[in-house]
Structure 1
C-alpha cells in the first residue's frame, strides 16, 4: 500500500451537462478520499493539447480536443491512499461498454467518446496534470475529520 497521494479527476463536458458533478463527487467522498481542489473551467485548445499531448498522434485527437473544449469541465484533485489506482477503479474502463456496473462509467456512460470523466493513469501523470490545471495556491492542505475513521494507521 502506498502512502497518501493525489490524483487528477475531471468531469468532462458531457458529465457536467448531464448534472453528474454531485454524484461523482459523492462517490469519491464515500470511498474516503479528500477533495483538495476543484474548479469549473472551459479549457482553451492549447491547454487541452498540452493535457492530451501523449495522444497527439491518434486519429481521434483533434475531435477529442474540440469536444473537451465544447463546454465546462469540473477539474478536481483528490487525495488519499492509492488515490490514482483506486480513482481509476471508481471511474471504470475507458470504454463504458467494458465498465462494470457500480463504476462511474458503467453506471453513467454508453459511448467511449462521451465517457463522463478523466482520471490520471499513474502517479507521474497525476503530478503533471495537477500542475497543468491548478496553481499550488489552489490546492488546499487540510485534515478531514473522517480521516481516522477511514484509515487504520
Structure 2
C-alpha cells in the first residue's frame, strides 16, 4: 500500500471545505491513516517548500501556508499518490477538470485549496515532516475487500 500527504490549505479551512475534501478522497477508496489540524510554523513551511526556495514565489508560498490553520493528512491505498492527485485536479483550478476538488471549488493558483504529494519520494519526505511514525495508524476496514482486489 502506498501513502501520500495532503494539506487542506488555509483557504479550504476558512471556506469550511475540510469535510468535503476529505470525503471526496475517502469516497475514492483511500484510507485516512493520519489527520490533524495545525498552524504551520515558518520553519516547517520553509522545509516543506524547500524545493521552491530559489523561485520568485517562494516567499508568498510560505506566507500563505502559515497565514491560518491547515488540516494535514496521510492517505493510504493502491496508487494513493496518483489517485489523490487525480481527485485533486490540476494545480491551476482553471485547468482542473470539473468533478475534481480544484475544478469544483478553485479559481486561482494561489488559492487552490489543497496540497498533494507529487511522487513517492516527496510523499515520504512530506509525511516525515508533518507526522511522527506513532501518529500514523495502520488498520483494516471491513469495506476494504470491496474496494481493493487482492
Coarse TM-score class (shorter-chain normalised): over 0.9
Q: How does 1:3-152 map to 2 (within 5 A)?
A: 4-152=1-149
- CA–CA separation in structure 1 for the residues paired with 2:39 and 2:66: 6
Which structure 2 segments of 5+ residues have no match? none
Question: Cα distance, 1:30 vs. partner?
Answer: 0.6
Distance in 2 (alpha carbons) for counterparts of 1:58 and 1:91: 24
Superposition RMSD in Å: 0.5
Shift of 1:145: 1.2
Displacement after TM superposition at 1:62 (Å): 0.2
SS of residue matched to 2:90: coil
Cα deviations across residues 78-103 of structure 1 (Å, max 9, x unaligned)? 00000001110000000001000000
Unaligned runs of 5+ in 1: none
Deviation beyond 2 Å, 4+ runs, structure 1: none
How many residue pairs get matched? 150
